[in-house]
Amino acid sequence: MACSRLCVQRLLSNNGCYRNISRLFVQRLLASNGYYRNIYPVCYKSTKTNVKTDKMVKDEEKEQVEVSTQNSDTEDNEHIKIMNYVTSVPLFTTDSEEDKSHIEAEGQFKSLVESMSIRIIPSVSTVIKNTQSAQSEFFLNRWKGKMIEELGEEGFKNYQQDTFRQGTNFHANVQEFLSGKSLDDIQIDPANEGHWRSLQKVFPLIKNIAAIETQILHPTLFYKGVFDCVAVYKDSLCVIDWKTSKQPKPLLSNTYDSPLQVAAYMGAINSSQVLADKGIDNVKTGVLVIAYPQGYPAHVHFMDQKTCTEYWNKWLERLQLYWKKTADKKLGLNLVKDDNSEYTEMF
């Protein structure tokens, strides 16, 4: 196929706008009457290959973004699958052998947590605090606002310090008593005298103390805490948690996130087998004791096995959310989607 003289003239009239075709080359074509075989197809191909319209550039950029998004979504989905291990961990241990897939999931979750370079294992209270619902956060902030309005900034700070000190002394007194110390040798802070009176009808129901104020770590879910007591309450082996409150809490639902703490400690105790040397493989029930500064009889909330399991599942959801948020922050992932705005930011 020959390049016609008309074709060459058209090339020349474009003033060199066809890429890779110099004006001198076109002039030589014209001088030779255009009989350079196959030159037109070559010119056409070169033009199509090297000239990109704005639309082509935009389409390529869009395609690159779509591929990047797809890759990111695929990576997030893989991490979400790994995070699903958290909600699969049972509250009670069994003698049956774990299946291969569960062991593999456990290893993948451990590797993911290690990749986050966590310096401090989160405590139960840290996880609960940083995964509060927006509603809980709202009511907490409203309460703080009212207290500050009443007491002032400095007064509210002193109030918090006093409350913390009273709680610390209260737990220390209970620990001393359950450890067998004589009542005459226990020094009750005046601010805790009401709390102490509040517990007098509870103490006779507790026996066979297995552990008091013991640090615990869940070996595969990687959270820690200090549980108050494991003992027999009314013939049931229980995780016992002591709380103080100025407001009456006659119902378990009035205790907010406290049952989550009991379930979290129970799961860590059972999984770590920390009490195995005392012949305790599983603790299956819990007790929340609420003492009052006015000296009113304490409210005792017994949590049976079913109730403990329900709160364990809720705890696992909160713990999974905590690890997802941590992974998003540390690894730049997007595991907590925007539709989870029900929860507050933690960092």
For strand 206-217 and strand 236-244, is the pairing parallel, antiparallel, or unpaired? unpaired
Average the pLDDT over each of 34-48, 54-68, 263-277, 313-327 and give the range with the smallest value: 34-48
pLDDT at 77: 87
Q: Does residue 22 surpass a pLDDT of 60?
A: no
Active site residue 99: no
Contact 1, 38 (CB under 8 A): yes
Check whether 250 has a pLDDT greater than 50: yes
pLDDT score at 328: 95
Residue whose tokens read 């395609």: 63
Residue-range domains of the chain with CATH: 5-50 (no CATH), 122-340 (3.90.320)
Alpha-carbon distance 301 to 343, whole Å?
28
In the sheet that holds 224-233, the strands lie side by side as 206-217, 224-233, 236-244, 285-291, 299-303
Q: Give the chain's count of helices (H) and strands (E).
A: 10, 5
pLDDT score for 39: 45
pLDDT at 136: 78
Any idea which of 151-160, 173-182, 196-205, 210-219 has the lowest mean pLDDT? 151-160
Alpha helices for 14-53 (secondary structure H): 23-31, 39-50
Which is catalytic among the residues 146, 243, 284, 330? 243
pLDDT of residue 107: 96
Tell me the average pLDDT across 269-282: 95
CA distance 188 to 296: 17
Query: Torsions phi, psi of 22, nearest 5?
Result: -80, 155
In which region does residue 256 sit, left (phi positive, over 0), alpha (psi from -120 to 50) or beta (all else)? left
Top pLDDT among 270 and 11 is at: 270
- At residue 258, the pLDDT reads 97
> Which one of the listed residues 54, 241, 325, 339 is annotated catalytic?
241
CA distance 52 to 47: 9
In three-state secondary structure terms, 135 is: helix
Q: 198 in helix, strand or coil?
A: helix
User: Is pLDDT at 42 greater than 70 in this prediction?
Assistant: no
Q: What mean pLDDT comes out for the span 94-107?
A: 85
Assess contact for 270 and 217: CB atoms under 8 A. Answer: no
Q: How far apart are CA 199 and CA 259, in angstroms?
A: 19
The pLDDT assigned to 63 comes to 58
Average pLDDT of the residues in 190-207:
96
228 is catalytic: yes
- Range with lowest mean pLDDT among 49-58, 112-121, 303-312: 49-58
Mean of all residue pLDDT scores within the chain = 84
Q: Which of 99, 228, 324, 328 is catalytic?
A: 228
- For the segment 213-223, the average pLDDT, to the nearest whole number, is 97
- What is the per-residue pLDDT for 333? 92
The yes-or-no answer on residue 241 being catalytic is yes
46 has a pLDDT exceeding 70 = no
pLDDT at 40: 43
* CB proximity list for 6: less than 8 A, separation 6 or greater: none
What is the pLDDT averaged over residues 254-261? 96
**Using an 8 Å Cβ cutoff, are 231 and 178 in contact?**
yes
